[in-house]
């Protein structure tokens, strides 16, 4: 395999790996009925005019299986953090005792679990589409290289097979990650 083809494969593999990372980050922010600090990652608090992630303003800890404690380093930010959580799509009402904000995660209903599982499958399908798009781009690039005689027809066939193997590997990883998240959501 030529150097150019190897580089094309490396770039494609890097992009597919990033797709998996993005998917895992999205899954981390899906609430599964348990306390998980990652659900706060998308929430920004107005801190002196700058939208700041909560984890940069406070210590976040899991007190119990379904309780998350948020202890700001600067207690004057308690109200701002509380307001940001209330305005988010988290759906949990924060409890502020003047020092710590507590988030109590309610048990998910069966209907909500099914809705979240459906969302997990949708995000997995989007990730697979992104991975297949990377494969298509890579194969198109190799076809152009073959047309301009940079690689042979045999190299192209080998490259197409390698791209398909790489795609299959990452699609399987998406399926595994999605299945694990779906199992986590459906657990009572």
pTM of the model: 0.73
Q: Which of 100-114, 120-134, 172-186 has the lowest mean pLDDT?
A: 100-114
Question: Is residue 37 within 8 Å of 55, Cβ to Cβ?
Answer: yes
Residues 57-78 have a mean pLDDT of 87
pLDDT score at 127: 95
Domain 3-28+109-186 falls in which CATH fold? Topoisomerase I; Chain A, domain 4 (1.10.132)
Of 114 and 30, the one with more pLDDT? 114
Residues 173-178 have a mean pLDDT of 94
Is 80 exceeded by the pLDDT of residue 98?
Answer: yes
Band of pLDDT at residue 31, cut at 50, 70 and 90: low
- Taking the CA atoms of 138, 144, 150 and 153 in sequence, report the sign of the dihedral they define: positive
- Domain(s) of CATH 1.10.132.20: residues in the chain: 3-28+109-186
Domain 37-104 falls in which CATH fold? Gyrase A; domain 2 (3.30.1360)
- Domain(s) of CATH 3.30.1360.40: residues in the chain: 37-104
Percent of the chain with pLDDT over 90: 34
Sequence-ordered list of residues with C-beta below 8 angstroms from that of 124, at least 6 positions apart, any chain: 23, 174, 175, 177, 178
pLDDT score at 93: 85
């Amino acid at each position: 395999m030529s150097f150019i083809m190897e580089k094309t494969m490396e770039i494609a593999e890097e992009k597919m790996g990033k797709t998996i990372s993005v998917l895992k980050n999205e899954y981390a922010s899906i609430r599964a009925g348990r306390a998980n600090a990652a659900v706060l990652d998308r929430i920004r608090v107005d801190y002196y005019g700058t939208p700041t992630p909560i984890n940069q303003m406070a210590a976040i800890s899991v007190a119990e299986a379904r309780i998350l404690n948020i202890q700001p380093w600067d207690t004057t930010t308690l109200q701002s953090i509380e307001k940001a959580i209330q305005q988010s799509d988290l759906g949990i009402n924060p409890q502020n005792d003047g020092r710590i904000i507590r988030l109590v995660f309610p048990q998910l209903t069966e209907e909500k679990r099914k809705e979240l599982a459906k969302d997990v499958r949708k995000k997995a399908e989007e990730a697979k589409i992104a991975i297949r798009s990377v494969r298509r781009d890579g194969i198109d690039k190799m076809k152009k290289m073959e047309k301009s005689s940079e690689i042979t027809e045999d190299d192209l066939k080998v490259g197409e097979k390698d791209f398909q193997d790489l795609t299959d590997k990452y699609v399987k990883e998406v399926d595994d990650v999605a299945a694990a998240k779906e199992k986590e959501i459906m657990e009572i």
